[in-house]
Amino acid sequence: MQKTQSAITQTYWQPLEKLLNPSTTKQQKLAGFDEEFVDLVDYIIRITHRIWEQKNVGLCYRYYSDICPVYTLGGYSECVEQVVQNTLKTISAFPDRSLIGENVIWRENDDDVYYSSHLITSIMTNTGQSEFGPATNKTGRVTTIADCVCFENKIIKEWLVRDNSFLVKQLGLDPIDVAIGLAKLTPHPTFTKWLNEEFTRVLEVEHREEAVLDQNNWSPESFVDAWVQTIFNQKQFSKLANFYSLAAAQQWPGGRQATGVAQISGTLIQWLAQCPDAKMTVDHLAVVPFDDETTDIAVRWSIAGHYNPASSRLAQLKGQEFFVLGASHLRVRDNKIIQETTVFDELALFANLIRQSGAEIATTAEGLTNV
């Protein structure tokens, strides 16, 4: 049974000291979790702080199961050893990385399994070699959403999305250049299989079916279904005002910032034109009240279709299979979105397109595209 949010840790107005030293009694059953945790949000916030900000990387052994599939658009890892190694490499490249927990939207199943969607803002300085290349010694900000399945004190499955194109722009790097480098990496066989299967699954969605948004029988679930079907699958942009408040704030990857219906329509139209046959599925949904008037919704979603390059540098990739794993946090008031944070990894998207095509694309340092 889902507890009301008022009883569960609310991160938004909490000082860090209070988040790290909760004063309430246990609010959720949390079977098999350490007794110290009062609820799932507390668990997520404190283990994140301990692993990343206190650099106790080895705590991954305590808080991740031995077999823990982690899906990202840039790769796949399967076990806790890889989680430890990847964490260490990132901390080495960005040693002052802070993880500011902006929100945790959660769901509790009847079988003692919990689901969390953790929105994080990180500030970090790139002082070491990273997946993006040599150290830039610049500080950047990045938004991440980590969706985790948690059971008996451990994360047993994770989907991780990070706005890497926004980050590398702050590091002074060209996103396509970085993607060209990433495309040279050999992916895990499970990643390739997962990507192909997901692409096929999402393309099969029934996208012409009309979704009716009944304001008299409104629910977060029907709202998200209608949002996806109307805007993303059917591209009916004149209906944006049915879903967004007139001054809704929208953050999309790569520095796309929009306020209000006109700007939001621009973001969505320009982005979707890169994949004009895009089909979208909702893969997971979690809903919690934020306060008396607003509701927070976490949506994990996938988009599949075929690539229509916006950049002439990527013209060779036209028609390639296009797949995005994404996540959105929506804050809803009076049945409309007032704030949207959508995250996916645009660098990984470009890297996958380049790798699959086999095209040789020159970096900006190398000059124009080799054909």
Q: Which of residues 245 and 356 has its CB atom nearest to another protein in the complex?
A: 245
The reply to whether 315 sits near another protein by the rule CB under 8 A is no
CB of 19 to another protein, least distance (A): 8
CB of 89 to another protein, least distance (A): 23
The reply to whether 270 sits near another protein by the rule CB under 8 A is yes
The reply to whether 13 sits near another protein by the rule CB under 8 A is yes
Identify the residue among 153, 170, 234, 363 touching another protein (CB under 8 A). 170
The reply to whether 123 sits near another protein by the rule CB under 8 A is yes
Per-residue H/E/C for the chain:
CCCCHHHCCCCCCCCHHHHHCCCCCCCCCCCCCCCCCCCHHHHHHHHHHHHHHCCCHHHHHHHECCEEEEEECCEEEEEHHHHHHHHHHHHHHCCCCEEEEEEEEEEECCCCCEEEEEEEEEEEECCCCECCECCCCCEEEEEEEEEEEEECCEEEEEEEEECHHHHHHHCCCCHHHHHHHHHCCCCCHHHHHHHHHHHHHHHCCCCCCCCCCCHHHCCHHHHHHHHHHHHHHCCCHHHHHHCEEEEEEEEEHHHEEEEHHHHHHHHHHHHHCCCCCCEEEEEEEEEEECCCCEEEEEEEEEEEEECCCCCHHHHHHCCCEEEEEEEEEEEEECCEEEEEEEECCHHHHHHHHHHHHCCCCCCCCCCCCCC
Q: Which of residues 197 and 293 has its CB atom nearest to another protein in the complex?
A: 293
The reply to whether 213 sits near another protein by the rule CB under 8 A is no
Q: Which of residues 255 and 319 has its CB atom nearest to another protein in the complex?
A: 255
The reply to whether 46 sits near another protein by the rule CB under 8 A is no
Q: Which of residues 25 and 238 has its CB atom nearest to another protein in the complex?
A: 238
Identify the residue among 2, 56, 192, 263 touching another protein (CB under 8 A). 263
User: In 3D, which of 318, 322, 310 has the Cα closest to residue 352?
Assistant: 322
| # residues near another protein by CB under 8 A | 39
Q: Which of residues 24 and 259 has its CB atom nearest to another protein in the complex?
A: 259
Candidate ranges 107-115, 194-202, 219-227, 249-257; the one touching another protein (CB under 8 A): 249-257
CB of 144 to another protein, least distance (A): 13
Sign of CA dihedral 150, 151, 154, 158: negative
The reply to whether 102 sits near another protein by the rule CB under 8 A is yes
Identify the residue among 7, 31, 67, 246 touching another protein (CB under 8 A). 246
Identify the residue among 238, 292, 312, 371 touching another protein (CB under 8 A). 238
Residues of span 131-150 touching another protein by CB under 8 A:
141
The reply to whether 234 sits near another protein by the rule CB under 8 A is no
Q: Which of residues 85 and 259 has its CB atom nearest to another protein in the complex?
A: 259
Residues near another protein, by CB under 8 A: 11-16, 19, 98, 100-102, 121, 123, 141, 166, 169-170, 238, 240-241, 246-247, 249, 254-263, 265-267, 269-271
